[in-house]
Amino acid sequence: MLLHSSPRNEEFAQKFVEANECWNLEQLYKDITFAKQQEKQLYRKQLTPTEKACLRGLIRGYSPTEIAWELNREPNGLRVELSRGLYRYIESLTGARIKNWSNVSKELEKKGYKFHSIGTNVTANRRDVTCLVSTIENHVDWGEAIDVSIFYGRHSELTTLQHWVKQDKCRLVALLGMGGIGKTALSVKLAQLVQEEFDFVIWRSLRDAPTIEELLDTLIKFFLCQQETNLPETVGAKISRLIEYLRKARCLIVLDNFDAILSGGERAGNYRSGYEDYGVMLQRLSETAHQSCVVVTSREKPTEVAAYSGEFLPVRTLQLSGLNNEDAQGILAAKGLTGSVDEIEKLIECYGGNPLALKIAATSIFDLFDGNIADFIQEETTLFNGVRNLLDRQFERLSPLEEDVMYWTCINREPVPAAELQSDIVPTVSKGNILESLESLTWRSLIEKRRDAIHRVSTFTQQPVIMEYMTERLVTGATEEITTGKINLLNKYALIKPNSKDYIRQSQIRVIISPILGNLQSNLKSQSEIELKIKNNLDNLSDNFSNKPGYFSKNLINLLCINGQARMPAPQEL
Ligand SMILES: Nc1ncnc2c1ncn2[C@@H]1O[C@H](COP(=O)(O)OP(=O)(O)O)[C@@H](O)[C@H]1O
Ligand SMILES: [Mg+2]
């Protein structure tokens, strides 16, 4: 009795309890206990809390390794214990040989211990999503996932990742690496390769830094197949609800650009203020038993991933390096770049096999050096500065309209159709000219084309590294213009776009307006001096812009408002 009331046993009694929903547990315990008593020839023996927990885990489709994690046991020890005990009792109960843990549920199901079942495969119980939604089997939502029909190499990475996801049943996998190295592409490829394993697959980018509530609501609604329901109110309850689904069905969630919600300061892996609950979510996803997998891609390692990952733990990290020589050559060849083996290898080495850098470099070589790699390498003395330097070079070469398209794509933050870019740009330009610019920028990998499946239009956006580069240009340029009173960018581009969706507006304030004010603060010291400076610009220059189309006064008013923490103008006033 003492044994059964210990805190540890009580804790075990809570593990894998969802087995109760689909299995006649009471009868199973009774019959297996009987088998145990026969086997041991001890008629007072009962099933231990550990045995019961293992039984529940096994019939829910958890492997012994996963069960060991959950019960805080050493996996090999538990495996031996199962082979000597529980498997033998089940054998004598079912009359079937239990060669592998996955036979357990199959054989017990045959004997009628399961209430209902759909499908006939070994993992039928995992796929029994009737507990969650009754009619839908394989649910997939790719969100804004990029097209990976052209994909080179990464064989060993994909083998490792598939093993972690399929065999080791990892709960959390982090793909880490610098911008442009191929994290997003790899995450999509992986999800495509393993999707058959899962009842639900959802791919989401955190690039626009959704709040944790928004993300959890999206996920919960997805698992409920968009049915109207009362969503839990607190973050904690939302996370619990999510985990409940991740237990009931096998789900794959990919969260791309996780670094968008990290602070990126000196202490890598910490959260931006207001986003700390993402850490709580990762912690709970790692600690709690469920049969699903969450993949995150990030430039920095989130602290929870660092704390919970390990070779024998259900949390793993894969640090991505560049493509190997042969695969990187594929990228260059697809761009039509040819050269001697030596030159090509040197180019790949210069960019560490970073596919994005190589794509941009390849077009630079065409644009600036008539396709001559040797000239490019020779001239590009600071080449080792990587993508940045390359982008400076590319930017210098853009036409004024291409510049406009680059700035506006950055300001829009999310993929937008050509028509939207056309309505942003002042003075008005023709759609044909915009499309021409977009084509040329896409070829140089400075803009990426997407397909908006709902509205059936092409949309355009930038890779995060490039968007960051453009944001920095805009912030630096705007700061300088306010300081010197020589206005150009500030009239051509809106720092906060009129009528933006709320989350985009927040994003524009955070990445554009606040850094400009931050820069001004370091030059001008106090908030009131900043205010004075902006007002002076407004007073002195308004006449110059009064009959020119543009965003000058709206931008300065927005800066004033946010600087003074004053009332933000309503969208119709902008
Ligand atoms: N293995 C690959 N084969 C072909 N193209 C790739 C590969 N990996 C990445 N790319 C391309 O390189 C660019 C950058 O990759 P991406 O996955 O977006 O990088 P990250 O997410 O790490 O910033 C994209 O245009 C992508 O399509
Ligand atoms: Mg990415």
Which numbered ligand comes closest to the C-alpha of 190? 1
pLDDT higher than threshold 60 for residue 119: no
Q: Which pLDDT score is estimated for 565?
A: 66
Report how far apart, in Å, the C-alpha atoms of 226 and of each of 138, 204, 205, 343 are. Answer: 15, 16, 19, 54
Query: Do residues 107 and 36 both lie within one domain?
Result: yes
- Gap from CA of 464 to ligand 2 centroid (Å): 7
Query: Do residues 177 and 281 both lie within one domain?
Result: yes
Partners of 262 in the β-ladder? 271
Residue 443 in domain:
no
pLDDT digits (tens, 9 = 90+) for 36-53: 988 888 888 889 999 999
How do 200-205 and 139-141 pair as beta strands?
parallel
Residue 483 in domain:
no
How do 293-298 and 172-176 pair as beta strands?
parallel
Nearest CA, atom 4, ligand 1: 151
Query: Do residues 284 and 371 both lie within one domain?
Result: no
Q: Where does a domain end: 368, 396, 424?
A: 396
**Phi, psi (rounded to 5 degrees) for 555:** -60, -45
Query: Helix or strand or coil: residue 502?
Result: helix
Query: Do residues 305 and 361 both lie within one domain?
Result: no
Rounded Cα–Cα distance for residues 463 and 178 (Å):
12
Residues lining ligand 2 (ion), CB within 5 A?
Answer: 184
- Gap from CA of 354 to ligand 2 centroid (Å): 12
Q: Where does a domain end: 379, 396, 413?
A: 396
Nearest CA, atom 16, ligand 1: 182
pLDDT higher than threshold 60 for residue 133: no
User: pLDDT category, 380, cuts 50, 70, 90?
Assistant: low
Q: Where does a domain end: 380, 396, 412?
A: 396
Q: Which pLDDT score is estimated for 248?
A: 86
pLDDT higher than threshold 90 for residue 252: yes
Rounded Cα–Cα distance for residues 66 and 292 (Å):
11
For the record, the structure tokens of 234 come out as 């607190």
Provide the number of structural domains found in the chain: 4
Residue 477 in domain:
no
Query: Do residues 80 and 169 both lie within one domain?
Result: no
Rounded Cα–Cα distance for residues 403 and 406 (Å):
5
Kindly give the number of the ligand 1 atom that is closest to the alpha carbon of 448.
25
Rounded Cα–Cα distance for residues 562 and 460 (Å):
29
pLDDT higher than threshold 50 for residue 400: yes
Query: Do residues 177 and 311 both lie within one domain?
Result: yes
Residue 82 in domain:
yes
Which has more confidence, 472 or 266? 472
Tell me the pTM.
0.69
Query: Do residues 307 and 217 both lie within one domain?
Result: yes
Query: Do residues 20 and 69 both lie within one domain?
Result: yes
pLDDT digits (tens, 9 = 90+) for 402-417: 999 999 999 999 999 9
pLDDT higher than threshold 90 for residue 135: no
Query: Do residues 89 and 55 both lie within one domain?
Result: yes
**Phi, psi (rounded to 5 degrees) for 298:** -160, 150
- Region 67-83: mean pLDDT is 85
Range of the domain at 150: 139-319
Rounded Cα–Cα distance for residues 508 and 489 (Å):
16
Kindly give the number of the ligand 1 atom that is closest to the alpha carbon of 150.
4
Residue 203 in domain:
yes
Q: Which of 157, 161, 188, 356 to mutate to test the pocket of ligand 1 (most atoms within 8 A of CB)?
A: 356
Kindly give the number of the ligand 1 atom that is closest to the alpha carbon of 177.
22
Q: Which pLDDT score is estimated for 226?
A: 59
Kindly give the number of the ligand 1 atom that is closest to the alpha carbon of 464.
23
Asked if residues 408 and 425 have their Cβ atoms less than 8 Å apart, the reply is yes
Comparing C-alpha atoms, which of 300, 226, 225 is closest to residue 261? 300
For the record, the structure tokens of 328 come out as 């990187």
Which numbered ligand comes closest to the C-alpha of 299? 1
Residue 16 in domain:
yes
- Gap from CA of 272 to ligand 2 centroid (Å): 19
Kindly give the number of the ligand 1 atom that is closest to the alpha carbon of 187.
17
Which numbered ligand comes closest to the C-alpha of 146? 1
Residue 532 in domain:
yes
Ligand 1, CB within 6 Å, residue ranges = 150-154, 177, 179-185, 323, 331, 355-356, 463-464
**Phi, psi (rounded to 5 degrees) for 145:** -55, 140
Q: Which pLDDT score is estimated for 452?
A: 78
For the record, the structure tokens of 217 come out as 């609501």
Nearest CA, atom 27, ligand 1: 185
pLDDT higher than threshold 60 for residue 369: yes
Q: Which pLDDT score is estimated for 371?
A: 83
Query: Do residues 160 and 258 both lie within one domain?
Result: yes
User: pLDDT category, 7, cuts 50, 70, 90?
Assistant: confident
Q: Which pLDDT score is estimated for 339?
A: 85
Query: Do residues 191 and 100 both lie within one domain?
Result: no
pLDDT higher than threshold 90 for residue 574: no
Query: Do residues 160 and 307 both lie within one domain?
Result: yes
For the record, the structure tokens of 195 come out as 């999707």
Residue 390 in domain:
yes
